[in-house]
Structure 1
Amino acid sequence: MSTATAAPRISVGEWVQRRVGIGMGQLPASLLKRLVTVPVNADGEQMAPEIAVLMSAVAKAPDFSDLSPAEARATELKDAGIYGERPLPMRQVEELELPGGLAATRYRAGTSANGLVVFFHGGGFVLGSRAAYEGPVRLLAQQTGMDILSVEYRLAPENPYPAPHDDALVAWEYALAHVGRWGIPLDRIVVAGDSAGGNVAAALAQTLRASERKPALQVLIYPVTDLAGSRPSNEEFADSPALTAKQIAWFLDQYLPPAVDRTDPRVSPLLAADLTGLPPTLVTVAGFDPLRDDGLAYADRLTESGVPTQLIREPGLVHGYLSLTALSTTSREAVERIASAIVRAIV
Structure 2
Amino acid sequence: MPEGLDEFATKYKVHSESLAYLEIQQAGGTDITDDSIPLDDRRRKAAESSSKLINDADEFAGTVKEFRVPSAALPDGIPIDVIKPRNCNTNPIILVYFNGGGMVFGSKESDRPICQVLARDIPCVVVNVEYRLAPENKFPAAFEDGKNVLRWVMMNKALIGGTNDSKIGVVGCSAGGTIAATLCHEVTKGIAFQVLVYPWLDLRCEQPSCTEFENGPILTVDILRWSVDKFVKTPEEVENPRASPLLRESFTCLPPTLLLLAEFDPLRDQAYDYKRKIKEAGIDAESLMIKGSLHGFFSKPGHFKDLGLKAREKMFAFIKKRVASS
TM-score where L is the length of structure 2: 0.88
In structure 1, C-alpha distance between the alignment counterparts of 2:112 and 2:13, rounded to whole Å? 29
Q: Is this contact kept in 1: 2:131–2:145, CA < 8 A?
A: yes
In structure 2, C-alpha distance between the alignment counterparts of 1:148 and 1:127, rounded to whole Å? 21
Structure-2 residue corresponding to 1:15: none
Question: What does 1:277-316 align with in structure 2 at a 5 Å threshold?
Answer: 277-316=253-292
One-letter amino acid of the structure 1 residue matched with residue 186 of structure 2:
T
1:193 and 2:161 aligned: no
One-letter amino acid of the structure 2 residue matched with residue 324 of structure 1:
K
One-letter amino acid of the structure 2 residue matched with residue 168 of structure 1:
G
Structure-2 residue corresponding to 1:10: none
Deviation at 1:63, TM superposition (A): 1.5
Structure-2 residue corresponding to 1:340: 317
Q: Is this contact kept in 2: 1:286–1:292, CA < 8 A?
A: yes
Structure-1 residue corresponding to 2:152: 174
CA offset digits 1:53-111 (Å, max 9, x no partner): 32133134331211432122101220232211243423121111110210000101134
**Aligned match of 2:65 in 94, 98, 112?**
94
Q: Is this contact kept in 2: 1:38–1:52, CA < 8 A?
A: no
Secondary structure class of the residue paired with 2:33: helix
In structure 1, C-alpha distance between the alignment counterparts of 2:114 and 2:245, rounded to whole Å? 25
1:244 and 2:215 aligned: no
Following TM superposition, where does structure 1 have runs of at least 4 consecutive aligned residues deviating by more than 4 angstroms?
A: 35-38
In structure 2, C-alpha distance between the alignment counterparts of 1:228 and 1:331, rounded to whole Å? 28
1:151 and 2:129 aligned: yes
1:124 and 2:99 aligned: no
Structure-2 residue corresponding to 1:72: 42
Deviation at 1:47, TM superposition (A): 1.6
Structure-2 residue corresponding to 1:162: 140
One-letter amino acid of the structure 1 residue matched with residue 25 of structure 2:
V
| Sequence identity percentage | 28
TM-score where L is the length of structure 1: 0.83
In structure 2, C-alpha distance between the alignment counterparts of 1:156 and 1:268, rounded to whole Å? 16
One-letter amino acid of the structure 2 residue matched with residue 161 of structure 1:
F
Secondary structure class of the residue paired with 1:59: helix
Structure-2 residue corresponding to 1:133: 111
In structure 2, C-alpha distance between the alignment counterparts of 1:93 and 1:257, rounded to whole Å? 35
Q: Is this contact kept in 2: 1:36–1:52, CA < 8 A?
A: no
Deviation at 1:186, TM superposition (A): 4.6
**Aligned match of 1:110 in 86, 100, 123?**
86
One-letter amino acid of the structure 2 residue matched with residue 56 of structure 1:
E
Structure-2 residue corresponding to 1:233: 209
Q: Is this contact kept in 2: 1:69–1:126, CA < 8 A?
A: no
Deviation at 1:341, TM superposition (A): 2.4
CA offset digits 1:188-213 (Å, max 9, x no partner): 0001100000000000000012xxx3
Deviation at 1:135, TM superposition (A): 1.0
In structure 2, C-alpha distance between the alignment counterparts of 1:214 and 1:79, rounded to whole Å? 37
CA offset digits 1:116-166 (Å, max 9, x no partner): 000111000000101111111111111211100000000000101000100
CA offset digits 1:163-188 (Å, max 9, x no partner): 01000111011101110332334560
CA RMSD of aligned residues (A): 1.9
Secondary structure class of the residue paired with 1:74: helix
1:63 and 2:31 aligned: yes
One-letter amino acid of the structure 2 residue matched with residue 170 of structure 1:
N
One-letter amino acid of the structure 1 residue matched with residue 79 of structure 2:
A
1:81 and 2:51 aligned: yes
Deviation at 1:36, TM superposition (A): 5.5
Secondary structure class of the residue paired with 2:113: helix
Structure-2 residue corresponding to 1:325: 301
Q: Which moved more, 1:329-338 or 1:90-99?
A: 329-338
CA offset digits 1:1-40 (Å, max 9, x no partner): xxxxxxxxxxxxxxxxxxxxxxxxxxxxxxxxxx956636
Q: Which moved more, 1:128-137 or 1:87-96?
A: 87-96
In structure 2, C-alpha distance between the alignment counterparts of 1:276 and 1:150, rounded to whole Å? 27
